[in-house]
Amino acid sequence: MHNSCAKLLPVIAVFLSLVAGCIAFAQQAPTDEPPANVAGKWTVYANDPDGSTSTKYFELKQDGETLSGHFKGPMASGGVEGTVHGKHVFIRVKLRHPLGFHGMVDGDRMHGTFHAPKGEGTFQAVRTQ
C-alpha cells in the first residue's frame, strides 16, 4: 500500500500544478487593450431580483477608463461613477441604497449583472445616442 501511494504522488503533484496554473491564468488582469467607448445615452432592460422587469437609463461620460454621469430608474435617480477596463465595465449608482452594474461592452450593447439591496439581477443595454 505504501508503494502505491508513492507512485500517486507525482501524478497528484502534476495535477495540482496544472490546477494552480489555470487559476493563475484565469485571475490575470485584462489585457492592455484600450477601454471600450461607453459614452452616451443607454437604455437598460433589467430582469430585477424580484422576477419583474424594468427599464432604466444611463447617461455616461467617459475620460479614459473613468466614468461619470447620471442614472434614472423607475423608483430613483442619481449620479454614477465607474470604470472601463478593455470591454469590462463597472458602474456604481450613487443612491441611498447603491446599485452596482458589472458587464461586458460590445459596441453599442452591454450585458451583465447588477447588485441591488434586494438581490442580483441581469441586464441588457443598448446605446441610444
Q: What is the count of structural domains for the chain? A: 1
User: Which helix (H) or strand (E) is 14 found in, with range?
Assistant: helix 2-26
Q: How far apart are CA 60 and CA 49, in angstroms?
A: 24
* φ and ψ of 26, to 5 deg: -65, -25
The one-letter amino acid at 43? T
What integer pLDDT is reported at residue 98 of this predicted model? 86
Residue 115 within a domain = yes
Helix, strand, coil distribution of the chain in percent, nearest 5: 20, 50, 30
CB 87, CB 2: distance < 8 Å: no
Q: Is residue 85 in a domain?
A: yes
Asked if the structure places residue 24 within a domain, the reply is no
pLDDT of amino acid 4: 55
Lookup: cell for 61: 461620460
Residue 32 covered by a domain: no
CATH of the domain at 121: 2.40.128.120
Contacts of residues 2-10 at CB distance under 8 Å and 24 or more positions apart, as own/partner, are: none
The whole-number pLDDT of residue 23 equals: 46
Q: Is residue 26 part of a domain?
A: no
Cα distance between the two ends of the chain: 70
Residue 67 domain boundaries: 40-127
- Does 56 fall in a domain? yes
Of 127, 123, 119, the closest CA to residue 39 belongs to 127
Residue 117 lies inside a defined structural domain of this protein: yes
- What pLDDT was estimated at residue 65? 97
pLDDT of residue 86: 97
**pLDDT of the residue at 75:** 87
Tens digit of pLDDT per residue, the chain (129 long)? 555 555 544 444 434 344 444 444 444 445 578 999 999 999 999 999 999 999 999 999 999 999 999 999 998 999 999 999 999 999 999 998 889 999 999 999 999 999 998 899 999 999 999
Q: From CA 103, how far away is CA 126, in angstroms rounded?
A: 13
Q: How deeply is 47 buried, as exposed, middle or buried, from its count of CB atoms within 10 A (0-12, 13-18, 19+)?
A: middle
Has residue 44 been placed in a domain?
Answer: yes
